[in-house]
């Protein structure tokens, strides 16, 4: 205020005094502009627990597998999280602070994940961590996050049966991904008999359990076969013979990783194609299709909350930004999009809480709505999972899905009654 | 008395070297590192137990096992089962459909604790099992292989198959073993919170103490008849056999001893890291552990400990600073060690001593000319 009065009446003030006064005014202005955030949100007030927050930066961690067998799956999440952080920084940061990232490599090895999580929380005092992909890596770091009171944004769709103050699950838990999809296929294809196939670990097993209960108790159908194969298994010949014998209406596949490629190629070679058979999977996203090849999947269905082909303005902007940063050939799968939600949901939680303190953002998270989400709209539930929709996509030869069905918003229910 | 002392420590040189290692581990590191880094060192040291076993088995007896991760894992799983049962009391698991059993069992519709889990409610049984279970597996495999005179590459392949079988068996029975996720979220040992920094200091020193004990025990074994037998077998097995010795049982014993050491390492790993999973049992960790021993020098007990520390510290630091490139750096380190120093770190130290000690000797003799006959410095060639 004062400087303006001085400057509006320059003719009455000698030059020397004018110069001194205006220099003082400029200095004042220079001092006040960077501390704008500092004044509204002084560091001492927004960070009472010693996190890595300064007057103009806040440090977060990113913990995925950049190397090892999981790197191929986790790269998409790494990229999407970095894109979100860049966008947040470009739009002014969080509480006026730019986000700095410390990247750690979990190396597809669970003890390494635990070690790096501890390093990020104890040594680097990061305000939040975006990371993990497999259930095993999340299980390995969970005790660390609970003990050291950190905050993890976990992007993968997973089996549920978990809920923690220190984790926000931005992917779907099993019932969100499974039930509506089964309802749709039962109605659309008049399906009564199902063949469940999965990789042998907790997510496919839990998902099959939920699917079986829903098929038997709600849809009044039958499960004609349920089988599991070790991760990395590549010989599906005998399974395909059994499928041909049982002739299920729907083949429900939860095969992950490299096994996917041999599974779908062998299905096609054995004549199990979409003209006579229905295959519904919850484990194939655009990323997997890149490896499997669209021609081996053409006409099969995936049930996911997100497909790259979603037609809405948020998603168009997201896909364009992603491709301009990572190349026109890059594809975006369900987990990549969920990874993108992490930094944004964290920013919203911090702003709602007016603080970086973990306890405060954990408490502030429920009820947060993110309307700019590429998947359309999400809202954080008190159980730290997201309200989200389910979509059924049908794969085309070019590797993109045509969205045939979209459910309403589904409430997350990590401990589903009647499905355990 | 003197004889026992020499056998346990390998003479004055041995005492000095062991003393240096103990001082580094128990004084220098705790004073210079924060608890997070010290806990990491503690984790590395648990691998050193496996590397010690490999020195005996591979360096001394000439039997290369690519499945030592199995025994590390068995020891670890025994410990983890005890801790998991303690963590699964009915109150903290009341959200489950069957309270009082480990959470992963509940997720797999198991409603009763399986019989083979029952004994692991007892700590003394668990501690015994940590040593005995790996030994029994090693004994059965050892007798089956060595009695039939299977050795060399074939033995290595079979141990590798064992590693694969065990990790698949754990993976495939997730209701009983926790599957791929392993046994996680271990919190307390007899009500004592193993995650607190106080506990981590104590566990670190326990690990160091046990490691020094293991070195002394190994040293004692090697300095006796067994050590000489092993060396003789490594160099000319037939002659030893023709002299009337049962070669196979010496190998079986060494294999069992190495397995028991690995089991102890596994149990200490679980206590310090707080979980175990099949990824620590399989082929990759088993081969990594051979690399630790190779980098340290496969014939030197202390070398194996230093090798383990060096490789793992490198792994942590490289991966923290170059998340995208660190594996190349590690690969480069291994190639450099194998090509330039085939006897590992211990070989380098030996080389330096050979170069330096005559020089020192000269220095000493030139300064005290009359008493050139008595050299206080031990010659490296002395047994």
Q: Across residues A216-238, what is the average pLDDT?
A: 92
3-class secondary-structure state, position B270: helix
Residue in chain A closest to B276 (alpha carbons) equals A111
Span B362-377, mean pLDDT?
Answer: 52
**Spatial contact of A31 and A25, defined as CB atoms under 8 Å apart:** no
Structure tokens at A314: 């948020």
Within 8 A of B324 by CB-CB distance, chain A residues are 66-67, 105
Is B364's Cβ below 8 Å from some Cβ in A?
no
Q: Rounded to an integer, what distance in angstroms lies between the CA atom of residue A248 and that of residue A188?
A: 15
**Touching check for B43 and chain A: CB below 8 Å?**
yes
Q: pLDDT-based confidence at B367, cuts 50/70/90?
A: low
Q: How far apart are CA A271 and CA B217, in angstroms?
A: 64
What secondary structure, in 3-state letters, does A33-98 show? CCHHHHHHCCHHHHCCCCCCECCCEEEEEEEECCCCCCHHHHHHHHHHHHHHHHHHHHCCCECCEE
B319·A230 Cβ contact <8 A: no
By C-alpha distance, the chain A residue nearest B323 is A105
Over residues B298-357, the pLDDT tens digits come to 888 999 999 999 999 988 888 888 877 888 888 888 788 778 888 888 888 888 888 887
Enumerate residues 211 to 270 of chain B having a beta carbon within 8 A of any beta carbon in chain A.
none
Chain A CB contacts of B97 below 8 Å:
420
pLDDT in tens, A276-313: 999 999 999 999 898 899 999 999 999 999 999 999 99
Looking at the partner chain, which of A111, A116, A142 has a beta carbon nearest the beta carbon of B280? Answer: A111
Interface test with A, best of B43, B46, B98, B184 (most A CBs within 10 A): B184
Would residue B335 count as lying in a domain?
no
Does B358 reside within a domain?
no
Residue A202 touches chain B, beta carbons under 8 Å:
yes
Q: Nearest CB to B36: which of A66, A122, A420?
A: A122
Instruction: Report whether pLDDT(A137) > 70.
Output: yes
- DSSP at B371: G
Bridge-based pairing of strands A386-387 and A378-380 is: antiparallel
B316 close contact with A: CB closer than 8 A? yes
Q: Which of A116, A202, A415 sits opposite B180 (nearest CB)?
A: A202
Q: Which of A138, A140, A160, A259 to mutate to test the interface with B (most CBs of B within 10 A)?
A: A140
Q: pLDDT tens-digit profile of A50-66?
A: 999 999 999 999 999 98
- A143/B185 Cβ within 8 A: yes
Give the neighbor-by-neighbor strand order of the sheet with A401-406.
A222-229, A193-199, A250-254, A278-281, A301-304, A391-395, A401-406
Mention every residue, 6+ apart, whose C-beta is less than 8 A from residue A63: A104, A106, A113, A116, A117, A120, A129, A130, A131, A132, A141
Residues 46-85 of A with CB under 8 A from B: 66-67
Q: Could you give the CA distance from residue A218 to residue A135 in angstroms, rounded to a whole number?
A: 28
Please provide residue B329's backbone torsions phi and psi, each rounded to the nearest 5 degrees.
-60, -40
In angstroms, the separation between the Cα of residue B105 and the nearest Cα of chain A is 11
Shortest CA gap B341–chain A (Å): 28
Please list every residue in chain A whose beta carbon sits closer than 8 Å to the beta carbon of residue B195: 143, 147
User: Is residue B348 in some structural domain?
Assistant: no
Instruction: Determine contact: B275 vs chain A, CB below 8 A.
Output: yes
Mutate to test the interface with B, among A101, A137, A143 (most CBs of B within 10 A): A143
Has residue B322 been placed in a domain? no
B-chain residues near A122 (CB < 8 A): 36
A367 burial type by CB count under 10 A (0-12 exposed, 13-18 middle, 19+ buried): exposed
What is the spatial distance between Cα B161 and Cα A235, in angstroms, rounded to a whole number?
A: 19
Query: Is position B379 within any domain?
Result: no
Closest of B89, B80, B98 to residue B185, by C-alpha:
B80
- Can you tell me the distance from the alpha carbon of A80 to that of B249, in angstroms, rounded to the nearest whole number? 59
Nearest CA distance, A103 vs chain B (angstrom):
7
Q: Is residue A395 within 8 Å of A280, Cβ to Cβ?
A: no
Token output for A120? 């990020």
Closest CA to A251 of A229, A281, A283, A217: A281
- So what's the pLDDT on residue A8? 41
Domain containing residue B240: 36-292
Q: Do A111 and B179 touch (CB under 8 A)?
A: no
C-alpha distance from A222 to closest chain B C-alpha (Å): 20
**Over 70: is that where the pLDDT of A192 sits?**
yes
Q: What is the mean pLDDT of residues B229-243?
A: 89
Between B109 and B134, the more confident residue is B134
Q: Which candidate from A112, A116, A201 shows the least CB-CB separation from B180?
A: A201
Taking residues A187-194, what's their average pLDDT? 94
Of residues B138 and B365, the one with the higher pLDDT is B138
Lowest average pLDDT, out of A125-129, A248-252, B280-284, goes to: B280-284
Q: Do A201 and B186 make contact, defined as CB atoms within 8 angstroms?
A: no
Cβ-nearest to B323 among A103, A200, A201: A103
The angle formed by the CA atoms of residues A201, A207 and A217, to the nearest 5 degrees, is 140
Answer yes or no: is B28 within a domain. Answer: no
Asked if A115 lies within 8 A of B40 by C-beta distance, the reply is: yes
Q: CB B326 to CB A230 under 8 A? A: no
Q: What is the pLDDT of residue A110?
A: 87
Among B180, B326, B329, the residue to mutate for chain A (most A Cβ within 10 A): B180
pLDDT grade for B374, boundaries at 50, 70 and 90: very low
How far, in Å, CA of B151 to CA of B22, rounded? 35
Q: Does A105 touch chain B (CB under 8 A)?
A: yes
Q: Which residues of B touch A75 (CB under 8 A)?
A: none
Alpha carbon distance A392, B104 (integer Å): 31
Please give the residue of chain B at the shortest CA–CA distance from A159: B107
Is residue B11 over pLDDT 80?
Answer: no
Instruction: Choose the mutation target among A61, A64, A67 for the interface with B, i.e. most B CBs under 10 Å.
Output: A67
Interface contact B179-A147, CB threshold 8 A: no
- A-chain CB neighbours of B33 within 8 Å are none
**Cβ of A223 under 8 Å from any chain B Cβ?**
no
Quick check: is B174 in a domain?
yes
C-alpha radius of gyration, chain B, whole number: 23
Q: Return d(Cα B292, Cα B165) in angstroms, integer.
A: 23
Which of A122, A147, A230 minimises the CB distance to B171? A230
- According to the model, what pLDDT value does residue B231 have? 87
Q: Is A103 on the interface with B (CB under 8 A)?
A: yes
B78 touches chain A (CB under 8 A): no
Q: Tell me, yes or no, whether B44 lies in a domain.
A: yes
Position B9 scores a pLDDT of 75
Pairing of strands A378-380, A369-370: antiparallel
B91 touches chain A (CB under 8 A): no
Q: How confident is the model at residue B120 (pLDDT cuts 50, 70, 90)?
A: very high
pLDDT at residue A13 greater than cutoff 80 = no
Q: Enumerate residues 6+ apart whose C-beta is below 8 A from A53.
A: A43, A46, A47, A59, A97, A127, A356
More confident residue, B371 or B76: B76
Residue-level pLDDT at A180: 93
- Residue B12: how many other CB atoms lie within 10 Å: 12
Decide if A131 contacts A74 (C-beta within 8 A): no
Q: Is the pLDDT of residue A7 over 60?
A: no
User: What per-residue confidence (pLDDT) applies to B351?
Assistant: 83
Contacts of A159 in chain B (CB under 8 A): 107
The domain total for chain B is: 1
Given pLDDT bands bounded at 50, 70 and 90, which one contains residue A22? Answer: low
Please state the three-class secondary structure of B196-210 as a single string: CHHHHHHHHHHHHHH
Chain B partners within 8 Å of A112 (Cβ): 319
- Smallest CA-to-CA distance from B289 within B62, B79, B48 is with B48
| CA of A194 vs chain B CAs: smallest distance (Å) | 21
Which residue among A107, A201, A206 sits closest to B171, beta carbon to beta carbon? Answer: A201
Alpha-carbon span A320 to A316, nearest angstrom: 6
Distance from CA of A1 to the nearest CA of B (A): 49
Query: Given an 8 Å threshold on Cβ–Cβ distance, is B277 in contact with A103?
Result: no
Per cent of chain B over pLDDT 70 is 94
User: Residue B380's pLDDT band (boundaries 50, 70, 90)?
Assistant: very low
Which one has a higher pLDDT value, B369 or A76? A76
Contact criterion met (CB < 8 Å) for B34 and A140: no
Task: Name the more confident of A171 and A68.
Answer: A171
CB contact under 8 A, B174 and A115: no
DSSP secondary structure letters along A345-375: HHHHHHHHHTS--HHHHHHH-TT-EETT-TT
List CB contacts of A182: < 8 A, sequence separation 6 or more.
Answer: A211, A214, A215, A219, A252, A280
Determine the average pLDDT of the residues in A386-405: 96
Chain B residue with the nearest C-alpha to that of A200: B172
Beta-carbon separation of A205 and B174 below 8 A = yes
CB-based contact A333:A75 (threshold 8 Å): no
- Whether B148 and B244 have beta carbons less than 8 Å apart is answered as no
Q: Look over chain B and give the mean of its residue pLDDT values, rounded to a whole number.
A: 87
Residue A17 contacts by C-beta under 8 Å, 6 or more apart in sequence?
none
Tell me what pLDDT residue B4 has.
75
pLDDT over threshold 60, residue B75: yes
Q: How many CB pairs under 8 A join A and B?
A: 101
Contacts of B256 (CB under 8 A, 6+ apart): B135, B138, B139, B142
Residue B310: CA count within 13 A, CB half-sphere = 21
DSSP lists the bridge partners of residue A152 as: A129, A167
Q: Is A200 on the interface with B (CB under 8 A)?
A: yes
């Amino acid at each position: 205020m004062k400087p303006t009065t001085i400057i509006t009446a320059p003719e009455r003030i000698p030059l020397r005094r004018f110069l001194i006064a205006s220099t003082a005014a400029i200095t004042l202005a220079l001092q006040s502009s960077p501390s704008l955030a500092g004044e509204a949100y002084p560091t001492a007030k927004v960070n009472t627990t010693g996190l890595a927050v300064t007057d103009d930066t806040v440090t977060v961690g990113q913990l995925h597998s950049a190397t090892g067998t999981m790197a191929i799956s986790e790269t998409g999440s790494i990229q999407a999280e970095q894109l979100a952080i860049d966008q947040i920084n470009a739009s002014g940061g969080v509480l006026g602070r730019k986000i700095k990232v410390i990247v750690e490599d979990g190396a597809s090895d669970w003890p390494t994940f635990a070690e790096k999580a501890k390093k990020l929380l104890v040594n680097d005092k990061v305000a939040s961590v975006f990371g993990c992909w497999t259930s095993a890596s999340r299980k390995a770091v969970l005790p660390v996050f609970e003990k050291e009171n950190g905050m993890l944004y976990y992007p993968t769709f997973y089996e549920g049966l978990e809920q923690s103050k220190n984790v926000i699950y931005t992917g779907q838990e099993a019932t969100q991904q499974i039930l509506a999809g089964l309802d749709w296929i039962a109605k659309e294809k008049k399906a009564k008999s199902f063949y469940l196939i999965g990789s042998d670990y907790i997510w496919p097993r839990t998902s099959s359990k939920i699917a079986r209960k829903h098929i038997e108790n709600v849809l009044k159908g039958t499960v004609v076969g349920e089988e599991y194969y070790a991760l990395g298994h590549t010989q599906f010949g005998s399974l395909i013979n059994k499928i041909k014998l049982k002739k299920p209406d729907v083949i429900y596949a939860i095969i992950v990783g490299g096994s996917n490629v041999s599974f779908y190629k062998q299905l096609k070679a054995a004549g199990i194609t979409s003209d006579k058979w229905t295959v519904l999977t919850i484990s194939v996203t655009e990323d997997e299709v890149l490896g499997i090849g669209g021609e081996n999947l053409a006409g099969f269905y995936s049930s996911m909350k997100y497909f790259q082909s979603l037609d809405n303005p948020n998603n168009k902007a997201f896909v364009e930004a992603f491709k301009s940063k990572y190349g026109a050939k890059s594809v975006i799968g369900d987990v990549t999009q969920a990874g993108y939600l992490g930094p944004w949901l964290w920013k919203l939680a911090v702003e709602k809480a007016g603080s970086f303190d973990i306890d405060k953002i954990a408490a502030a998270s429920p009820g947060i709505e993110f309307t700019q989400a590429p998947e359309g709209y999400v809202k954080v539930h008190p159980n730290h999972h997201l309200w989200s929709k389910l979509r059924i996509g049908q794969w085309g030869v070019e590797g993109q899905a045509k969205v045939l069905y979209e459910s309403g918003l589904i409430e997350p229910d990590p401990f589903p009654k009647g499905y355990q | 008395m003197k004889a026992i002392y020499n056998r346990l420590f390998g003479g004055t040189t041995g005492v000095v070297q062991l003393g240096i290692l103990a001082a580094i581990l128990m004084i220098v590191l705790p004073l210079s590192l924060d608890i997070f880094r010290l806990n990491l060192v503690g984790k590395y040291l648990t691998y050193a137990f496996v590397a010690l076993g490999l020195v005996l088995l591979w360096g001394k007896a000439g039997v290369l096992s690519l499945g030592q991760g199995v025994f590390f894992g068995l020891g670890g799983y025994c410990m983890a089962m005890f801790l998991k049962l303690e963590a699964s009391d009915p109150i903290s698991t009341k959200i489950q459909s069957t309270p009082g059993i480990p959470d992963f069992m509940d997720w797999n519709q198991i409603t009763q604790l399986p019989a083979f889990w029952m004994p692991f409610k007892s700590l003394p049984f668990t501690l015994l099992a940590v040593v005995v279970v790996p030994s029994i597996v090693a004994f059965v495999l050892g007798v089956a292989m060595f009695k039939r005179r299977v050795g060399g590459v074939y033995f290595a392949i079979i141990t590798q198959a064992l590693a694969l079988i065990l990790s698949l068996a754990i993976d495939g029975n997730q209701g009983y073993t926790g599957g791929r996720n392993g046994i996680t979220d271990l919190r307390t040992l007899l009500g004592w919170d193993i995650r607190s920094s106080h506990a981590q200091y104590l566990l670190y020193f326990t690990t160091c103490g046990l490691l020094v004990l293991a070195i002394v025990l190994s040293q004692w074994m090697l300095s006796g008849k067994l050590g000489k037998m092993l060396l003789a077998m490594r160099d000319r097995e037939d002659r030893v056999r023709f002299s009337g010795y049962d070669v196979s049982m010496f190998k079986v014993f060494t294999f069992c001893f190495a397995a028991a050491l690995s089991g102890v390492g596994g149990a200490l790993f679980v206590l310090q890291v707080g979980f175990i999973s099949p990824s620590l049992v399989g082929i990759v960790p088993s081969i990594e552990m051979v690399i630790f021993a190779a980098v340290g020098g496969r014939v030197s007990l202390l070398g194996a400990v230093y090798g383990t520390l060096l490789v793992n510290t490198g792994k942590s630091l490289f991966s923290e600073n170059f998340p995208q490139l660190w594996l190349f750096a590690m690969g480069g380190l291994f190639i450099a060690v194998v090509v330039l120093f085939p006897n590992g770190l211990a070989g380098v130290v030996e080389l330096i001593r050979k170069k330096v000690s005559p020089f020192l000797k000269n220095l000493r003799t030139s300064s005290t000319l009359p008493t050139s006959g008595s050299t206080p410095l031990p010659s490296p060639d002395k047994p």
